[in-house]
Chain A
Amino acid sequence: MSSDTSRLGFYLLLAPILLWLAVLIILPHVGLFIVSITEKIGPREYTIGLGNYAKFFEEPLFWHTFARTAIMSIVATALTLLLGFPIAYYIAKLTKGRTKATLFLMCMIPFWVSELVRTFGWMILLRETGVISNGLQALGIVSGPVELLYNDAAIMVGLVYTSILFMVVPLVTTLDSLDDSLIEAGYDLGGSTQSIMREIVIPHAMPGIVSGCIVVFMLSLGNYLTPVLLGGKDSLWFTGMIYSQFITRFNWELGSAFGFLLLILSSLVVYLGLRISGQSLSATMGRT
């Protein structure tokens, strides 16, 4: 095999990935940044400046929505961790063989289904004429129809539902690798269930916790369907704002600035999460 043909082969392999990453990832984001620092001063007349970012900070509605989206995403991440951890622990430590495989599979099935279908399901359950409202009336707990949809709690239920798999899978993987004998040793040495959780299980599961939290936070931040369909009129979400700037208002300059701010927040969280846990991006993403 001559080295000329193998070099040719190398460049032939290099071409598709460079084309893909340059044309669809890098250049579009550079372009997005350039548009975000462009201001329209007249018809077909533009100037460079930070006016779009200034507008974001001047208008309370914009940065309130931004902060709200970030805070709700943090709450959703924390809730997902709290609800998912016992499940992951149960699957990893208290079941074996076929039961374990079945439970794990049951966790995954809802996520093979389109997010739209899942959200639609919650709408049927929570709306005024929905299943839960009717159930509560039949049980005599409430006297008339109750509207459970279109509020922040409904958004939270939907967000946790959408992202819980991405918490449970990495947690099961890390908890699986914890040797039972370490837990037994903890009990032998007189540890209580709480102290064993705190001193042995949680430190061991930390990499899984961090990668789960990163992914869930990212997914919540970038979610569009759940807040739009389950949230009320006042439940604005930042992705919804980006959409309306782009598609409804046709203000691409401001929309690009919003998009960039969301990208910065999302990347910052990923970066900090990886720094705190001392993990690499490839290891974290490989796990999910």
Chain B
Amino acid sequence: MIPTVPQRSFAKWCYRAYVALFFTYLALPLTVVCVFAFNNSVFPSLPWEGFTTAWFFGTEAPFIGVFHERSILRAIGTSAFVAVWVAGLAVAVGTCNAFLFVRHNFRGKGFLYIVMLLPLIIPGVILGISILVFSSNIANTLEDATGLWFDQLRPGLVLVILGQFSFVTTFATLVISARLQKFDPALEEAALNLGASKFGAIRQITLPFLLPAILASAVVAVLMSFENFNTTLMLVGSDSPLTIAMFDKLKQGSTPVLNAVSLLLILVSAGLGAMSLIFQKRRA
């Protein structure tokens, strides 16, 4: 079945209908989430009670919009805080890893590379509980030994950041390594010949070359951090990031406020996704 070989038109239309049906299936859940954000009703379901933007801007109960719902705003702030830390750490370590794997040969390199890929195949829930168990054991030992409190090692934002960092770094490493492999070392040698120091050459020549990959991986890291659920669920303390806060609200019974948040999330994710594509295109 390729364009140059004629097909019966009935088969061709069936195929097209299937493709159309498939894309409807893809679009349907997101569409209803967005549409019901504007329904003038306290439940995100039919019947349609008319158009309203109260779920965004409303100030009077029960129509308290996203921009006035304090718990959601706080959760967005928490998520942003976590995402910035995760992206910063993951990109910094990922860049180091890229230099290590592309520029250096050492014993055990192949093995280290495999271990570096492991976070991709460990289920997020397991990653979460293993870090939870490990940090709690350290905290218990330290507290028994010193008599001080180590709250940072108990479920909370520090553990959430570490948990997300533990697998996002693998993605950052892969993206930045791929770019560094395309770099011509002769450019750096030329800078060295012209009297640049080793670090000067890397800062002025290599890092600018890597910048698109660094930005793209930072954007993807922010996206992954914002959306992560499984690992975060196991490590979260009293400050909930957005996905956890939404999950708690969803279990209590949903209102269209959740649709409004979701719509904003869809817009931001689509924007960030487009940004990462643009960075990667410039890379090519």
Task: List A residues at the B interface (Cβ < 8 Å).
Answer: 1, 5, 9-10, 12-14, 16-17, 20-21, 24-29, 31-32, 35, 83, 86-87, 89-90, 93-94, 103, 106-110, 112-118, 120-125, 127, 129-131, 134, 161, 164, 180, 183-184, 187, 193, 218, 221-225, 229, 239, 242-243, 246-247, 252, 255-256, 259, 262-263, 266-267, 270, 281-282, 285-286
Contact = CB atoms under 8 A, between A and B. Distances in A.
Interface residues of B, number: 85
Contacts of B1: 89, 93-94, 183, 193
Closest 9 pairs between A and B when the two form their complex, measured CB to CB = A121-B29, A222-B123, A28-B130, A28-B134, A112-B273, A24-B166, A114-B227, A13-B100, A112-B269
B156 to A, nearest CB: 14
B28 interface: yes
Given A89-B1, A239-B230, A246-B132, A117 B262 contact: yes
Nearest to A9: B198
B198 A120 contact: no
Given A124-B32, A270-B121, A184 B126 contact: no
B78 to A, nearest CB: 15
A1 B191 CA distance: 13
7 contacts: A20-B166, A32-B130, A93-B3, A109-B273, A116-B229, A184-B2, A246-B129
A131 B113 CA distance: 48
Interface string B232-262: 0110000000010011001000100011001
Nearest to A225: B229
Given A1-B198, A31-B130, A117-B30, 18 more contacts: A21-B115, A25-B119, A25-B122, A32-B126, A35-B133, A94-B15, A113-B269, A113-B270, A120-B258, A124-B33, A130-B45, A131-B45, A180-B2, A180-B4, A229-B250, A242-B126, A270-B121, A286-B174
A115 B229 contact: yes
Contacts of A112: 223, 269-270, 272-273
A115 B247 CA distance: 11
A51 to B, nearest CB: 17
B63 interface: no
Interface stretch (B18-26, B51-59, B80-88, B204-212): B18-26
Query: Which DSSP category, helix, strand, loop or mixed, fits chain A's interface?
Result: helix
Given A28-B134, A222-B230, A125 B32 contact: yes
Instruction: Report whether over half of chain B's contact residues are helix, strand or loop; otherwise say mixed.
Output: helix
A113 B263 CA distance: 10
B93 A20 contact: yes
Contacts of A285: 117, 120-121, 174
A32 B134 contact: yes
B104 interface: yes
A123 B254 contact: yes
Given A90-B19, A225-B229, A31 B137 contact: yes
Interface string B164-197: 0110010000100000000000000000100000
B266 to A, nearest CB: 5
A243 B234 contact: yes
Contacts of B25: 161
Contact of A218 (B45, B123, B135, B227): B123
Question: Which one of B33, B124, B273 has the highest number of Cβ atoms from chain A below 10 Å of its Cβ?
Answer: B33
Contacts of A94: 1-3, 15
A25 B226 CA distance: 21
Given A87-B19, A89-B1, A222-B123, A114 B117 contact: no
B123 A117 contact: no
A239 B230 CA distance: 9
A286 B116 CA distance: 13
A129 B133 contact: no
A93 B2 contact: yes
Contacts of B2: 93-94, 180, 183-184
A93 to B, nearest CB: 5
Given A10-B106, A112-B269, A243-B234, A31 B133 contact: yes
Nearest to B32: A124
A247 B86 CA distance: 25
Contacts of B198: 1, 5, 9
B125 A242 contact: yes
Contacts of A31: 130, 133-134, 137
B15 A86 contact: yes
A239 B96 CA distance: 34
A259 B137 contact: no
A110 B239 CA distance: 28
A116 B250 contact: yes
A93 B1 CA distance: 8
A146 to B, nearest CB: 13
Contacts of A10: 100, 104, 106
Contacts of A130: 45-46
Nearest to A36: B133
A281 B229 contact: no
Nearest to A256: B133
Interface string B124-151: 1110011111110100000000000000
Given A114-B243, A120-B262, A263 B5 contact: no
